[in-house]
Structure formats: C-alpha cells, structure tokens
Chain A
C-alpha cells in the first residue's frame, strides 16, 4: 500500500474519517442505502409525484415540491426511527409525568424481540461464510427448526425446566436436519450449495404447509394452516412479565449465549480454526490435513442448527404457534440473516451491531407502513442496497474519496458449479 493516510497537519479528523476502516465504509454504505430508499420513496409516492408535476403549472411550485418531498421522506424515516428506537415526545412525556414507560419502551423492546432470532440465524450464516460456504438455506432451516420446536413445545407436556431446553434443542435438531441435506450433497457429490439450499427452502415451505394442515399438529378445530399453540412452559417468557406489555423476552439471552459460543468457537476452538482455514485457503487446509468433506458437513450442521434455533426462538417468543406464512418470503429472517452476516463481515461482534441495525430497520419499517402507508418492503430494499454497497467497498471508497482501498473480508473464494 503506497498511499500514506496521514500527511502533516492534515492528519486530522478528516484523514481518519476517510481512512480505510471497514466501519467507515459501512457507515457510508448505510447512508447510500438510505439515499436509495429515499429515491424510491420519491419516485413512487403519488403525493410527491403530484407536487413535482405541479411544477410545470406554477412558479411557486418547485419550493412546494421540495417541501412535499422532504416531508414525505422525512416522515418515513422519522417513523422508522421512532418506531424502532425511541419516540422523543413519548420519552419526554414519561420523564415529566412518570407514566407511560411501557409505551416509551415498546419500540426498543420490539427491536430487541426481532433482533434475537435474527442475530442467532446471522451468526450461523456468518460461520458458514467464514468457511467459504454460502448458506442461502437459513430460512428453510429456520422453518424446519420452528416446526420441530413447535411440535415438541405443543405436543409434549412437562415442567419448564425440561420443556424449554428440549424445545430449543428440537429447533436446533430440525435446523441441523435441514442443513445436513446440502452439506452431505456438497461433500459427496460436489453439488453447489447455493442452488441446493434455495431449492431446499421451497421444499421446506411446502413441508410447512403440509404439517400445519395435518391432523396431529394442526390446531384442533381449525381448518386453517395454523399449528397447535405451544405450552407456556415451552415459551420464551417476556422479561418484564406479560402484564408489562413489552414483548422483549429471554430470547435475547439465548442470542447472547450464541454470540459467546460463536466467538469461542471461531477464535478459540480447534474445530473453528479448521473452519476458518478452510474458508481462507482451501488448498492450505487440505495440505495441513484438514478433511474438507467433514468440515463441509459440520459447517452445515452448525449453521443449520443455529438457523433452526433462530426459527424456534422466533416462534417461542412471539406468536407461540406457527402458521403457513411462518418466515415465508423475503421478510424471512433466514434471508435477512444473509445480509446481516455480510454487513457484519461475518464476525460475531459485527453481526451483533448489524442485526440490531437491520432489526431496527425491519421494526421501523412496520411502524412506517402503519403511519405513512409506505410498504414495509422498503426496509428490505434498503437492507439489500446497504449490503450491495458493503460488498463493493471499492465503489464506496471511490464515491466518498476514501484514501486507501479498504480491505475486504467479503471476497470469498468464488468457485464455479463443478465442485
């Protein structure tokens, strides 16, 4: 790297600001992502378009059009923030009157509720990425985990001490089962995991509809695609009791445990070392005697198990049942987890921040849809845009005149289809 970042008196905040740090790139990518979202809002909201059209009719209109534009975009992003972090006016009200705290904390509680399963799934995807594996099937694995966990949680009955751990373990087992298919296929036939996992997702969706409409698991007396409700002993209880109205629950402790596990696993365990070596340099891994086939299968078991855990945490902490729409579509946590892992550069701590950010975007998107009518899917568009920018750090660097080429950890060893 011939370029020197700091020279003389300009070794200032600006120099540091425009350095090669991945955090800076991520920050600018976030801004670009929000900009893309704003452009989409502007070009698709009838009120804004009408205001701009009026510009052709009267002289005062450009100012008005700008105002309408800023009002709409501002309202969207403002409700996104107040709906996911905190609403200042409600906070002020609580401070002065001492009442309404539950209302004040609802947004942040919702964000944490949503972040917990997302974080767990993203850690799983991130571990796979670190091993050079694209686990695009996290959503299907989460679905099977959710099914397995919900079956144990609703059809077996026992005290909480046993029931909750067993439910979570069933979720992990379900995810591992779903993950083992692409893992085994890749290990023994060389089938590319991207197509296999995506196809497997669709198989899992069909299986979900099959089980929630089949007699033992379907809610008795129901004709719809809805499962039995999990016993209270299998649910992840709200932290502050059901009466508080806050949904934030013990799932976040599960997520924290998973992060700690992931950090230990990747940084301290010898198996995790094998994983990372395989991801960083497959031929070096082979030369040092790592059995790549075993690594492949284990990666999918770990990654799938975590996705399954995410699925059951999601079901056990929010709805307490699963239905035919569980995690389906682009909103599924398994898909968001891919973008979260990429944004967090596959490192546990990075993924924590990334999942909080994307959970906030998702929850805020719902608030935005409720109050401004702008569809929630915008949040997913912004998320993917952010990740596209993060995945091309050189582009961000050029756009913002950052100094040195940021080192990218997203550059995986790209391989063709053969094996």
Chain B
C-alpha cells in the first residue's frame, strides 16, 4: 500500500551474536591500526620514555621512580597483537559476559600505544617523555566530573526518569559555584550552592515530567538551552561588570597523610581536591544504596515496573521525585567540581560533558561502578585530545578534539554489546 512496504520487517536491533562479532571485528581493526601506524609507523630505533614523577611533587616526593624506556615499535606491535588476539577471542568464543571489559581494555591499550607513538624520541615531538602520572592526574579532573554526571544519570534513570538536563545542571552548578567560591572563598559553600541549584533544576524537571507528564527528553533539552542562555546572560550582566564574582578559584589539593606518599597511586588518588574524595564516597554510597538497601530495591522496582511497585505500596511518584532531585544535586556538585578544576566560569565551557556523562552511564550499564570505568576511558580520551597537541601529532587539533565525541557516539551506538536500560526508563507514569 505504501511506498515503503516490505514483506518482512527486520528486527531493529541486531541479534547479540552479530553485535558481538561486530565488536570483535572493531577490536581487531583497532589492533591492526596500532600495529601498522603506531608500531610500524615509528622507526626501528625509536624509543619512548615513560616517567612517573609528578611534576609538582618531584622535589618533595619521598620517592623517585626511574624512567621506563621502551622500544616504541616493538611495544606497540606487541600491544596491537594483544588487541587483535582479544578480538579474535571474542569473535570465536563469543563470551556472554565481559565483552565490554575486553573492549575497555583494548581502548586503554590503544590510548597507551598512541601516547608511546606520539612521544617517541627520534620523532616530531619536542617533548621527549610521557609523564604517566601527570596524565593520570590531568585526566582525573575530567573523569571526576563525568562520574558526578553519570551518577546523577544512574540515580534518575534507575527510578525511570531520563535526566538529559545533566549538562544544564553542570552549567548551573559551575556558575553558582564560581560565584560562591569567589565571594566566600569556601568550596564547601560552593558545593552546597551547586547542589541546591542542581537539585532545583532536577525538581523542575521532575515537576514537569511527573506532575504534568511532559515529555522528559523535550523538557530536558529545553532546560539545557534555557540554562545555557541564562548563564551567558548572567555572565554578561553580572560577571562582566563585577569580575570579583568570578575570580576563578581552583580547589586546593588535600593530601591524605601517608597514603599520598605512595608512588604513582598517591598523587593520583590521595592528593586531590575534596571533590574527588566526595566523588569516591558517592560512588560507594550510591552503589550500596541502590543494590543493598530497601530503598534501592524500591527505586529499582519503580524504574523497572512502576505499576507493580505501586501495587505493593511503593509511592512511585515520591521515589522518582526524591531520586531526580538527588540526581540533580549530584550533577550540580559535578558542575562546581568542574569549575573548581578549570577556573573561572565561561559560557559553554562544559562543551557537552553532560551528554558524555550520560553516554558513560549507558556504557556502565546503569551501575555506579560501570559508570566509573566508563568515565575513566572517556576522561582519558578527553584529556588526551587536549594534550596531544603538545606532542605535535601530525593531525589537526580540531580533528583531535573530535575524538571524545566519536568515542561517545561509538559507545551509544552499542558497540559495547547489548545494554538494557531500566524497563520504565523515560515512560510517563500515571497514577490511576
């Protein structure tokens, strides 16, 4: 009857087998690329030096890790072969679990190979070493913000509300955080302010989505537009005439005694700002709350089957309100954390991190721990896209900037195996 009629309707999502094979082939291609470009692309005698002493601690650190020098070509060929081998293994065995973990491993090996290649010594780069610790510290700032965002997503979506306004909550948190930190010089107040703003935005989203059953994605997208324009309005109206409200404070590092002295691990994990520790605590608390407590059971029930949850006496709407507001508050704190690691507020400087956080949540299969792993990979790729410029990679800086977004698209496209969102995610609930 119609132009597009077909006799047979193919399934929209391909069978898991096909997808697993596709992932396996992708892993193989990445591995081959590493062998050909990063391995054979460096001259035989080239070597790469890895250093581990943090830049700012080197004088006072009680330890000194020597430089690790690797033959670039052979290391990268080895890494590439391991990647191809993993791909072959996935292709043949098609394991039902752990495909994502293997792909994550391939992604990290690829980034390592890329770094080794970029920093090889008879090469174009002026920088003759790769400081592993500095890279981990640098990327941990982005990772931290992504974890806050994806935790917010986990909170909301586990209860069945799509919070696509994370980007808006980041912007709101960063704005108010900069204002409070500049006037009070307290990052605790700034974090509280960010949580309040994020929570209020979450409340607005929940109000429109739950009370009026508006489309959650429309409301979320419009909220982001609104907060984005409001922040650039306020930036011109308030921050430009009164720069003392936006001085750009960076949160100080709080070194944990003893632990921060551990080589490599210390500076990365135990000499961080308070936001970093708060993030670690939140990951644990939310994991525990979601999977080990009665309330978490309610939340997951509401997200999977609200009607059934309501039948056993759970107040679906209340659970969703609480979770969306808490999720918004977490994203708001994430915005403050971003501001506290990047400096003074500028309109649009979150550049889509909120959406990348959502992708990290999907990659992490709606679990806090998975979101952390995903955020580490995304954080590394975002940070590398910043710093590869200094290695004079023969690729335009603008092309490098695309990398994190491409990775996000690849992840959302389900390169990473089948993901199953909470069954009632994004669906309006009507209490009858």
Spell out A's residues near B (CB within 8 Å).
Answer: 40, 44-46, 134, 136, 181, 185, 187-192, 194-196, 198-203, 206-207, 209-210, 213-214, 270-271, 273-274, 286, 288-295, 329-330, 335, 338-339, 342, 374-375, 377-378, 380-381, 384-385, 387-388, 391-392, 394-395, 410-412, 414-419
A195 touches B355 (CB 8 A): yes
Provide the bound-state CA to CA distance between A49 and B421, in Å: 48
Provide the bound-state CA to CA distance between A203 and B410, in Å: 13
Residues of A near B359 (CB, < 8 A) are 195, 199
Which single member of B1, B229, B238, B347 contacts A289 (CB below 8 Å)? B1
A416 touches B234 (CB 8 A): no
Interface-forming stretch among B58-66, B69-77, B215-223?
B215-223
Which single member of A202, A378, A419 contacts B405 (CB below 8 Å)? A202
Which single member of A206, A270, A335, A417 contacts B362 (CB below 8 Å)? A417
A198 touches B421 (CB 8 A): no
Residues of B near A207 (CB, < 8 A) are 398, 402
| CB under 8 Å from chain A, chain B span 3-17 | 3-7, 9-10, 12-14
A191 touches B399 (CB 8 A): no
B6 touches A196 (CB 8 A): no
B427 touches A416 (CB 8 A): yes
Q: Which of A45, A342, A417 has the most CB of B within 10 A?
A: A417
B67 at interface by CB-CB < 8 Å: no
Provide the bound-state CA to CA distance between A2 and B232, in Å: 46
Provide the bound-state CA to CA distance between A416 and B222, in Å: 18
Contact string, B408-423, partner A, CB cutoff 8 A, digits 1/0?
1100111100011111
Chain B min CB distance to A7 (Å): 27
Residues of B near A416 (CB, < 8 A) are 162, 421-423, 425-427
Interface size class of B (residues with CB under 8 A): 35 or more
B56 at interface by CB-CB < 8 Å: no
Residue in B closest to A384 when the chains form the complex, CB atoms = B226
Provide the bound-state CA to CA distance between A387 and B399, in Å: 35
A-B contact pairs, 19 of them (CB 8 A): A44-B238, A46-B241, A191-B412, A191-B414, A192-B412, A195-B359, A195-B412, A196-B412, A199-B359, A203-B405, A290-B4, A292-B9, A293-B10, A293-B12, A338-B222, A375-B233, A381-B229, A414-B216, A414-B217
A392 touches B212 (CB 8 A): yes
Chain A min CB distance to B399 (Å): 6
Which single member of A44, A198, A339, A387 contacts B237 (CB below 8 Å)? A44
Residues of B near A417 (CB, < 8 A) are 162, 362, 412, 419, 421, 425-426
Residues of B near A214 (CB, < 8 A) are 396
B253 at interface by CB-CB < 8 Å: no
| CB under 8 Å from chain A, chain B span 91-128 | none
Chain B min CB distance to A299 (Å): 11
A391 touches B214 (CB 8 A): yes
Chain A min CB distance to B152 (Å): 15
A289 touches B233 (CB 8 A): no
Residue in B closest to A185 when the chains form the complex, CB atoms = B413
A199 touches B234 (CB 8 A): no
With A44-B238, A207-B398, A210-B396 as contacts: A188 and B14 at CB distance below 8 Å? yes
Residues of A near B427 (CB, < 8 A) are 414, 416
- A274-B3, A412-B217 known; 8 other A-B pairs, CB under 8 Å? A136-B221, A191-B412, A199-B412, A203-B406, A274-B2, A293-B12, A374-B237, A416-B421
B208 at interface by CB-CB < 8 Å: yes
Provide the bound-state CA to CA distance between A201 and B415, in Å: 20
B237 touches A335 (CB 8 A): no
B223 touches A388 (CB 8 A): yes
B352 touches A199 (CB 8 A): yes
Closest CB pairs A-B (n = 7): A380-B229, A384-B226, A416-B425, A377-B233, A210-B398, A375-B236, A191-B413
Which single member of A294, A375, A388, A411 contacts B4 (CB below 8 Å)? A294
Spell out B's residues near A (CB within 8 Å).
Answer: 1-7, 9-10, 12-14, 19, 162, 164, 208, 212-219, 221-223, 225-226, 228-230, 232-234, 236-238, 241, 347-348, 351-352, 355-356, 358-359, 362, 396, 398-399, 401-402, 405-406, 408-409, 412-415, 419-423, 425-428
Residues of B near A292 (CB, < 8 A) are 9, 12
A395 touches B208 (CB 8 A): yes
Which single member of A198, A377, A414 contacts B236 (CB below 8 Å)? A377
Q: Which of A295, A392, A412 has the most CB of B within 10 A?
A: A392
Residues of A near B218 (CB, < 8 A) are 134, 342, 391, 410, 412
Residues of A near B164 (CB, < 8 A) are 194
Provide the bound-state CA to CA distance between A192 and B355, in Å: 12
Residues of A near B7 (CB, < 8 A) are 289
With A202-B351, A330-B225, A391-B208 as contacts: A270 and B215 at CB distance below 8 Å? no
B412 touches A388 (CB 8 A): no
B230 touches A418 (CB 8 A): no
With A40-B233, A194-B164 as contacts: A286 and B9 at CB distance below 8 Å? yes
With A196-B412, A198-B352, A375-B236 as contacts: A388 and B230 at CB distance below 8 Å? no
Provide the bound-state CA to CA distance between A230 and B183, in Å: 49
Provide the bound-state CA to CA distance between A274 and B6, in Å: 13
A44 touches B234 (CB 8 A): yes
Chain A min CB distance to B183 (Å): 16
Provide the bound-state CA to CA distance between A380 and B348, in Å: 14
B225 touches A380 (CB 8 A): yes
Provide the bound-state CA to CA distance between A45 and B162, in Å: 35
Which single member of B4, B212, B219, B351 contacts A271 (CB below 8 Å)? B4
With A384-B229, A414-B216 as contacts: A289 and B2 at CB distance below 8 Å? yes
Residues of A near B229 (CB, < 8 A) are 330, 377-378, 380-381, 384
Chain A min CB distance to B354 (Å): 9
Residue in B closest to A45 when the chains form the complex, CB atoms = B237
Residues of B near A388 (CB, < 8 A) are 208, 219, 222-223, 226
Q: Which of B12, B164, B223 has the most CB of A within 10 A?
A: B12
Residues of A near B402 (CB, < 8 A) are 202-203, 206-207
Residue in A closest to B398 when the chains form the complex, CB atoms = A210
Residues of B near A46 (CB, < 8 A) are 241
B399 touches A206 (CB 8 A): yes
Provide the bound-state CA to CA distance between A411 and B215, in Å: 6
A134 touches B221 (CB 8 A): yes
Residue in A closest to B424 when the chains form the complex, CB atoms = A416
